Amino acid sequence: MVTNQSVLILGARSDIGRAIAHTFAGHGRPIVLAARRAADLNVDVADISARYQVAASAIEFDVIDGGATRFFDSLPELPDVVVMVAGLLGDQAVNEVDQDAAMRVMATNYTGPACYLLEVARRMEARGSGAIVGISSVAGDRGRRSNFVYGSAKAGFTAFLSGLRNRLAAQNIQVVTIKPGFVATRMTAGMKLPPALTAAPQEVADATWRAVTKGSDVVYVRSVWRLIMWIIRSIPERLFKRLSL
Amino acid sequence: MDRTGDTPVIARGAARSYGDASFGPGLTLDMRRLDHVTAFDAASGVMTCEAGVLLSDVIRLWTPRGWFPPVTPGTKFVTIGGMIASDVHGKNHHLAGSFGDHVISFRLALGDGSVATCSRTENVDLFEATCGGMGLTGVILEATFRMIPVRSARIMQETQRAPNLAAAMDLFEAGSERTYSVAWIDCLATGAELGRSAVIFGDHASPDDFDSDARSAPFSRRTPNKRRIPLDFPGFALNRASVSAFNKLYYKRQAPGRRLVDLEPYFYPLDAIQDWNRIYGQRGFVQYQCVLPLATSRDGLAALLTEIARAGDPSFLAVLKRLGRESFGLLSFPLEGYTLALDFPATDRTFGLLDRLDDITLEAGGRLYLTKDARMRRAMLEASYPRLDRFRAVREQYGFTTRFRSALSDRLGL
Ligand SMILES: Cc1cc2nc3c(=O)[nH]c(=O)nc-3n(C[C@H](O)[C@H](O)[C@H](O)COP(=O)(O)OP(=O)(O)OC[C@H]3O[C@@H](n4cnc5c(N)ncnc54)[C@H](O)[C@@H]3O)c2cc1C
Ligand SMILES: NC(=O)c1ccc[n+]([C@@H]2O[C@H](COP(=O)([O-])OP(=O)(O)OC[C@H]3O[C@@H](n4cnc5c(N)ncnc54)[C@H](OP(=O)(O)O)[C@@H]3O)[C@@H](O)[C@H]2O)c1
């Protein structure tokens, strides 16, 4: 990888997005932070440029605004690495009775990110280089009663990334799927998570850095999750439907 | 923050203080998320950052650029806010003073929704009360301080053996121009050998001090050599016995002579043991750190060491340090003289011993370090911090007594 490759973080205020931004900046990469209320990110822009002496900027971004074309037109240049971090866990119980809430979860985790990444893919293909990273979730590996609105949207996103990788493999464009497992972030604050299965945001960032530099395809941040999800996927549906997972 | 002031709050940085300073009867504010660097001026070395920025980040990112914190405690896992609130001192206090001496200004949340900028010319009363004020005069949000230029990531270390306390003190006085100095006292020694120690001086190395092949990369870090880490015990084996073993090993490793060492093992030997501080929490350790004025140091230190040796447990090792002049901070710990820091297991017997050490300290006109204290009595505090009344007056004046409270302030009536 060339060291001046710029990195765009979509959903940069998230704990995972911040850690990824710092990690790539620490390796000398210029950073563009994209998030809602981007003006609030000025402290992060100053922080990143002071710490790592790289160029940094912030730009307004809403993953469900249907404005991907406009968004990328407004960028001074197409970044070399694009990381989609935006996502929304929502509340499963609410999602079951409130369609607007459910739609928001689906749009924020699947249709929104997919539309943005389609636009990125088109432009990277035209240029002939680039790397696309999607932060998906192990929740998409099998729908479960505890979070299947979120999980199904992540499943859609995972399938999308898989197809996109297939589509772009011959074009020298890398597509990475990151499946973090539990991560201690704002999203999971207050939940009781088993420490052995819970990663710090920095671990997700390190895994993302390694995946991009090594050219990996699908990454489980803590490898134990690969095993856990393999077991969960192996349970016959007849039994699975009675379980409380 | 609760603006009505009903619920008291106290800030917490990295929770590296040993006692009851960073929690209390009300809310604890976790400052670690306030961790942005605002600006750094490479011409002057002046840094502005939020209070939750970790010193370890500053060192990791700025040392390779030729800048080092002006003062550093014995662990790098502290926040800038915590360093101001304890007005920390390092091995260079005799020349550099405490951290507050290098702070230009900070922004302080007063707990009523307002934020005051404090410096030597603006809100001076708050500036003086907050440096060393243990979080009891508002929440530091952001600080501006001066870093020092360094020419490498190494220290030229020189170790000398002192056969007894008087010899150790003579070495300190003779080495008053050396940037860093500290002594590890072997508490096994008694009688004529009382205070037998290794006195370790250090100066920032320049590339000229390096072998010719290393001269071109003065900031490169050697890959950590396992044997350089003082202890290879697995985490589960870390108990009281291994801590004292660490101390003994550390002492024994200090062979006399000059050598180049990396910054990190020089300044932060304990940081090499992951989460070592948990040992203290779980197994119940107390730190004891006192300072004695120069005039009474010789006799006072001898009395302290004699008392410790008499108590029987020979496993302890004490750290001795010459401090420079007193700081402007109303509750700052440093005093021109000598400071002694010790680890003890928290047993009943220990607490009896510590009470006797208190008496010796007080009689010598010395005092205890609040950030390491969990047990001092109010009378001792009042007898040994002469500007306490001014500190209390600032707390009253700004309505801080009900707004900012910690277990420490409740215990000592701060
Ligand atoms: C291994 C080890 C070695 C040490 N060596 C030294 C040494 O050589 N010299 C020395 O001086 N100290 C030393 N210390 C003590 C340490 O430097 C201080 O306790 C320091 O204050 C810890 O910083 P912290 O961020 O962990 O603060 P905490 O422990 O979280 O808090 C300490 C105090 O600072 C206040 N505080 C924290 N952040 C803020 C803020 N933003 N605004 C207002 N108040 C705040 C808290 O309320 C509390 O009163 C050592 C500690 C350890 C564990
Ligand atoms: N934490 C976990 O256990 C875990 C596990 C697996 C996967 N993940 C995934 O990791 C990613 C980051 O999550 P996190 O844990 O770091 O939690 P987080 O802090 O809640 O991050 C979610 C981010 O998505 C952004 N977002 C939500 N809706 C948006 C919209 N309409 N437009 C633009 N951005 C929007 C949020 O932006 P605002 O800052 O503007 O609110 C927020 O920064 C998510 O995709 C999440 O699904 C997390």
- Taking the C-alpha atoms of residue B278 and residue B284, their distance in angstroms, rounded to an integer, is 9
A99: distance to nearest CA of chain B, Å?
A: 34
Q: Given the DSSP bridges, would you call strands A31-35 and A56-60 parallel, antiparallel or unpaired?
A: parallel
Q: Map residue B335 onto helix, strand or coil.
A: coil
**Ligand 1 atom having least distance to the Cα of B77:** 26
Chain B: residue nearest A26 by CA? Answer: B61
Ligand 2 pocket (Cβ < 6 Å) reads A 11, 13-16, 35-36, 61-64, 85-88, 108, 135, 137, 180, 182-183, 185-188
Phi, psi dihedral angles at B309 (to 5 degrees): -65, -40
Predicted pLDDT at B273: 61
Query: Are residues B127 and B171 both part of a single domain?
Result: no
**Judging by beta carbons within 10 Å of its beta carbon (0-12, 13-18, 19+), is residue B184 exposed, middle or buried?**
buried
Q: Model confidence over B93-117: pLDDT tens digits?
A: 999 999 999 999 999 999 999 999 9
Interchain contact B124–A (C-beta under 8 A): no
CATH code for the domain in which residue A126 is found: 3.40.50.720
Q: What is the pLDDT confidence band of residue A74, given thresholds at 50, 70 and 90?
A: very high
Residues of B in contact with A51 (CB under 8 A): 37, 57, 61
Query: Are residues B290 and B142 both part of a single domain?
Result: no
- How much is the pTM? 0.92
Predicted pLDDT at B344: 77
Query: Are residues B120 and B162 both part of a single domain?
Result: no
Predicted pLDDT at B347: 75
Predicted pLDDT at A28: 96
- Taking the C-alpha atoms of residue B255 and residue A188, their distance in angstroms, rounded to an integer, is 51
**Ligand 2: distance of its center to the CA of A105 in Å?**
11
Query: Are residues B14 and B133 both part of a single domain?
Result: yes
Q: Residue for token digits 């014995």? A: B74
**Ligand 2: distance of its center to the CA of A213 in Å?**
24
Structural domain contains residue A28: yes
Structural domain contains residue A187: yes
Predicted pLDDT at A92: 96
Q: Model confidence over A146-165: pLDDT tens digits?
A: 999 999 999 999 999 999 99
Q: Is A150 part of the annotated catalytic residue set?
A: yes
Interchain contact B33–A (C-beta under 8 A): no
- Asked if B38's CB is within 8 angstroms of A43's CB, the reply is yes
Structural domain contains residue A88: yes
Q: Within a 10 A sphere around the Cβ of B356, how many other Cβ atoms?
A: 15
- Residues B136 and B406 sit within 8 Å (Cβ to Cβ): yes
Phi, psi dihedral angles at B366 (to 5 degrees): -100, -170
CATH code for the domain in which residue B69 is found: 3.30.465.10
Structural domain contains residue B412: no
How many C-alpha atoms does A42 have within 13 Å on its Cβ side? 2
**Ligand 1 atom having least distance to the Cα of B87:** 11
Q: Model confidence over A112-150: pLDDT tens digits?
A: 999 999 999 999 999 999 999 999 999 999 999 999 999
- Asked if A51's CB is within 8 angstroms of B37's CB, the reply is yes
Query: Are residues B75 and B103 both part of a single domain?
Result: yes
Query: Are residues B391 and B370 both part of a single domain?
Result: no
Query: Are residues B135 and B266 both part of a single domain?
Result: no
Structural domain contains residue B414: no
- Residues B50 and B35 sit within 8 Å (Cβ to Cβ): yes
Q: Map residue B247 onto helix, strand or coil.
A: helix
Predicted pLDDT at B234: 34
Query: Are residues B195 and B335 both part of a single domain?
Result: yes
Query: Taking Cα atoms as reference points, which of B25, B77, B97 lies closest to residue B275?
Result: B77
Residues counted in chain A: 245
Predicted pLDDT at B98: 98
Please, which residues have CB within 8 angstroms of residue B59's CB and are 6 or more apart in sequence? B68, B69, B72, B76, B263
Structural domain contains residue B380: no
Q: Which residues of chain B have pLDDT under 50?
A: 1-2, 223-240, 279-282
Domain that holds residue A232: 7-240
- Residues B244 and B44 sit within 8 Å (Cβ to Cβ): no
Structural domain contains residue A2: no
Predicted pLDDT at B238: 39
Report residue B95 CA to chain centroid gap. Answer: 16
What total number of domains does chain A contain?
A: 1
Predicted pLDDT at B251: 65
- Residues B347 and B336 sit within 8 Å (Cβ to Cβ): no
What one-letter code names the amino acid at B306?
T
Q: Is the pLDDT of residue A175 over 50?
A: yes
Domain that holds residue B359: 154-217+224-375
**Ligand 1: distance of its center to the CA of B371 in Å?**
6
What total number of domains does chain B contain?
A: 2
Mutate to test the pocket of ligand 1, among B9, B10, B12, B238 (most ligand atoms within 8 A of CB): B12
